[in-house]
Amino acid sequence: MGQDHHHPDAGTGAYQAAYDRSLTDPEGFWGEAAQALVWDKPWTRVLDDSTPPFFHWFAGAEINTCYNAVDRHVEEGRGEQPAMIHDSPVTDSKTVITYAELRERCARFAGLLRDLGVTKGDRVIVYMPMVPEAAIAMLACARIGAIHSVVFGGFSARELATRIDDAKPKVIVAGSCGIEPSRVVLYKPLVDAAIEAAAHKPEHCVILQRPQGRADLIPGRDVDWAEAVASAEPAACVPVAATDPLYILYTSGTTGQPKGVVRDNGGHAVAMHWSMRYVYDMRPGEVYWAASDVGWVVGHSYIVYAPLLYGCTSIMYEGKPVGTPDAGAFWRVIEEHRVSVLFTAPTAFRAIKRDDPHGEHLKRYDISTLRTLFLAGERCDPDTLAWAGDMLGVPVIDHWWQTETGWAIAANCIGLEVMPIKPGSPTKPVPGYAVEVLDEAGAPVAPGGIGRIMVRLPLPPACLPTLWNNDERFVESYLSAQPGYYLSGDAGYLDEDGYVFVMSRIDDIINVAGHRLSTGGMEGVLASHPDVAECAVIGVADKLKGELPVGLVVLKAGVQHSNEEIGADLVRLVREQIGPVAAFKTVLVVERLPKTRSGKILRGTMKSIADGIEYRMPATIDDPAILDEITTALKAAGLASGQAV
């Protein structure tokens, strides 16, 4: 890996020294990290802790995120370096945008927004496919101090309407369509229906017309992106308070009312910049690829903001890991664009592994520029981790974070020091995060014992300071479980070496005859079976034992054994590795598992179906028809069926 040549300051003990300092002297630690950015006005305090449980980083300072992500690089001589490379197998096109071009395009689009009456503090909803214009719209908002809220392109009109009513945007920026491997998804009718349904009416919509599905514009309200930008005057960067919101990103709430996670400008820029060097071990000028979508937090943090703040080249990929055209798609992108670090979800690698278990496609490409693969987004089963490492021959690093935090809570911070990897663990807490495992009474759990993973306040920079217009819900959702702590919502343990093991959402800890067991632990056992491509374990209500685990598995292509043989095998494996206490006896083989568009398996919905409870069709579901297949399989196994409401 050429570690020494790459980071002279890395070495044994570097992680622990940085971690300890971040907790004992957070103001010194983050104040130093902040020197890497350009500030319009210095801070009066690095950390304003005068109003707990609300904390504010870089109080009194002023900064512009777009200036730091775009303009400064042009001024510092990176103008001709590619800032973004858009690679789109679905439209068979590739576009390179240099930092100088990006500055010009951001300034013009910011000018257009200003012409439409958008000023500092106004909200703009961005409802776009994976095109460079999505990033340009986000950065243009940041440029003039407007607050963007990106809604995943293709979300239902109902979901878009709830976000319009919560954020109350002055303008919506949308693409005319998104392009899936097999179909074109028209966005404009969804935007029109959402505005129709919403109580709040935005003044204008800016529509990017894509030739694959052009939109009908409503005169007076709708504006054609290309036409309007051509006549717009470029806008300069507007300094904003470090504590002003940069964006709102909605995460699904349990009540059906989405939670608007707020991200500030100052702390966010500092943490993003720091993480590129010390978590991902990048250098300015190198190529970074987060294979996600701008609609998700990974896209905000690591397609748009962090790589550009750090002066890297960011890949924006409009395609899939398989099917555009095949399971070699990722390797092609790495070879063509000389990618140094890839960050994606384990789901993507499971899909590649399912279609190409022996890595035949990999043999056609030279991926020698790739140094590291980072995985996050859901628990990474050790089998996928091992397969990816064997295939790629580079370190595979699982790390753990959330929409709420905006960046890693636990990771192997390879820019500080490469620590031994323990499969199933995202390694250790990242500097700034005081991670503790507490029981229901708030007492620390001994190493190896499962409890609620909490972070002692204050949270480090870039984590949510609150929810949009809802301080009460912020406290209730995240800070009320244990005073002085942030509730991650995940359950797991710390081992004797201080490694973090995230087992499942707190809701996925099941109680079998008084034993607290993690469904994530059982999934790890099922996933280790050579015939299993994907799996999920849910706890189903049982009169005798409270809950019983049920495994749903998707098999790899071309499996030789019968479903019954594999089922019996899996029951034996769980008995051997977790114990008879798991009472694991039911395995259902299914064609596919229901997922959100970002690849998270809908365990809660499947549990509702099995328990015969009414459930709401999840807004983010990728393909609703899968739930009918799951219902049929559960019924066949003698489990009740829940009703969608």
Q: pLDDT digits over 299-338, tens only?
A: 999 999 999 999 999 999 999 999 999 999 999 999 999 9
52: DSSP letter: T
Q: Give the model's pLDDT for residue 644.
A: 42
Give strand pairing partners of 487: 454
User: Greater confidence, 524 or 645?
Assistant: 524
- In this predicted structure, the answer to whether residue 7 has a pLDDT above a threshold of 60 is no
The answer to whether 3-319+399-492 and 513-636 have equal CATH topology is: no
Query: 39-48, 156-165, 193-202: lowest mean pLDDT where?
Result: 156-165
The residue among 422, 330, 331 whose CA lies nearest residue 380 is 422
Q: pLDDT digits over 160-172, tens only?
A: 999 999 999 999 9
* pLDDT bucket at 217, cuts 50 / 70 / 90: very high
- In this predicted structure, the answer to whether residue 621 has a pLDDT above a threshold of 60 is yes
Q: Give the model's pLDDT for residue 253.
A: 56
- In this predicted structure, the answer to whether residue 3 has a pLDDT above a threshold of 50 is no
Domain 513-636 - what CATH class?
alpha beta
**Distance (Å) of CA 404 to CA 66, 188, 300, 421, 488:** 22, 29, 12, 26, 9
Query: 61-70, 109-118, 156-165, 268-277: lowest mean pLDDT where?
Result: 156-165
Tell me the mean pLDDT in the region 340-354.
92
How far is 505 from 488, CA to CA, in rounded Å? 9
593: DSSP letter: -
- In this predicted structure, the answer to whether residue 27 has a pLDDT above a threshold of 80 is yes
Q: pLDDT digits over 357-395, tens only?
A: 999 999 999 999 999 999 998 778 788 899 999 999 999
Q: What is the pTM of this model?
A: 0.84
CA 315, 317, 319: angle at the middle one, nearest 5?
165
Q: Would you give the end-to-end CA distance of the chain in angstroms? A: 53
- In this predicted structure, the answer to whether residue 483 has a pLDDT above a threshold of 70 is yes
How far is 473 from 283, CA to CA, in rounded Å? 39
Give residue 133's identity as a one-letter amino acid code.
E
Q: Taking the domains of the chain in order of start, what are their residue ranges?
A: 3-319+399-492, 513-636
Query: 56-65, 164-173, 451-460, 531-540: lowest mean pLDDT where?
Result: 531-540
The residue among 234, 228, 152 whose CA lies nearest residue 190 is 152
CATH of domain 3-319+399-492: 3.40.50.12780
SS (H, E, C) 526-555: HHCCCCEEEEEEEEEEECCCEEEEEEEEEE
Q: How many CB atoms lie within 10 A of CB 263?
A: 27
Tell me the mean pLDDT in the region 573-582.
78
Q: Give the model's pLDDT for residue 519.
A: 85
Q: Give the model's pLDDT for residue 4.
A: 37
How far is 383 from 35, CA to CA, in rounded Å? 41
- In this predicted structure, the answer to whether residue 2 has a pLDDT above a threshold of 50 is no
